[in-house]
Structure 1
Amino acid sequence: MELTIYLAGEIHSNWREEIKEKAKSLDLPLKFVGPMENHDRSDMIGEEILGEQPDKIFRDEAASSINNLRTQVLMQKSDIVVALFGKEYKQWNTAMDASAAVTLGKPLILVRPKELHHPLKELSRKANVTVENVDQVVKVLSYIFEDK
């Protein structure tokens, strides 16, 4: 049995690669999907497909429509959503993706440092599991496959 994991969260650090490498080292049957990690491509995909837009707002809206489609399709095909909230970046997209996972009934692993407990307390209560780091994510995913 292979599970598909949607990795929601900021695209500026290597946290996704950490999870992928650790899962691979444990030989876990996991496939990973997520948002477009090339920030420039994500921002410009609307103009690339639909043509030049009249201003930055229209450019953002065109890109958002396509990025939202990607997220919806990949998340619906996923078995589990992992949503990482870090300390360094604004996390609006992560909050939106985690909420979408809850709405879709997707199992949700929420990753957040202890310092973000209070602002994420309601979302954390909706998640199936809340952890503080990617090592704990991999341990949770590994546990799914244990048979003894």
Structure 2
Amino acid sequence: MKVYLSGEIHTDWREQIIEGCKAKNLDISFTSANTDHESSDAAGDGLGAESHQFWRDHKSAKVNAIRIQTAIKACDVAIIRFGDKYKQWNAAFDAGYCAALGKPYITLHDETLVHALKEVDGAAQAWATTPEQVVDLLAYIVA
């Protein structure tokens, strides 16, 4: 099974899920967007310097989209994490992309975001509050 990990990059939730799946000997491979801010922001820099930040961000977003869209299309299921420190607009976009493709996804966030994410959760196949719950769901799915 191929699992795409999307969203918040300030905690170790990805590692928790990957290690939890390894501990259960689950046959799962994981992909993710670039989780390094600096290199993600610079993804389009090889296409030439820009004098305005908008155009730098625009080019990098398009280059990053190649990676993200390819990974989402290739995955069997996506895990989309929303943290409490920053608004993850990119994660919401990934959820919408999954929904548009008919790609199953699981949201991962705490109860404080239930109202804000009601539409995103409404299209999800499951909502988890901990990485351990995600591991249990993946174990069930691949069983």
Query: Using the alignment, how far apart are the partners of 2:132 and 2:83 within structure 1?
Result: 14
Runs of at least 5 residues in structure 1 that lack an aligned partner in the other structure: none
Deviations 1:16-72 (A, max 9, x none): 11111111111100000010011100001111x202112211110110010011111
Asked if 1:53 is matched to 2:50, the reply is yes
C-alpha RMSD of matched pairs (Å)? 0.9
Q: 1:6 maps to which residue?
A: 4
| Structure 1 moving runs of 4+ over 4 Å | none
Q: State whether structure 2 residue 106 is matched by structure 1 residue 112.
A: no
Q: Deviations over 1:87-145 (max 9, x none)?
A: 11211011000111111111111111111111111211110111111110000000113
- Structure 1 residue corresponding to 2:122, chosen from 121, 125, 130: 125
2 CA distance for matches of 1:68 and 1:57? 16
**Number of the residue aligned with 2:68:** 71
Q: Per-residue deviation at 1:82?
A: 0.5
Structure 2 unaligned blocks of 5 or more: none
Q: Distance in 1 between matches of 2:19 and 2:94?
A: 23
Task: Give the Cα–Cα distance (whole angstroms) in 2 for the partners of residues 63 and 111 of structure 1.
Answer: 26
The count of corresponding residues between Structure 1 and Structure 2 is 143
Q: Percent identity?
A: 37
Whether 1:17 aligns to 2:12 is: no
Q: How far 1:12 sits from its partner (Å)?
A: 2.2
* Aligned residue type for 1:131: A
Name the SS for the 2:87 alignment partner. coil
Taking a change above 3 Å as real, the CA distance of residues 53 and 111 of structure 1, as seen in their structure-2 partners, is same
Q: Which of these residues, 12, 31, 34, is aligned with residue 33 of structure 1?
A: 31
Structure 1 residue 15: Cα displacement: 1.0
CA distance in 1, matches of 2:35, 2:117: 24
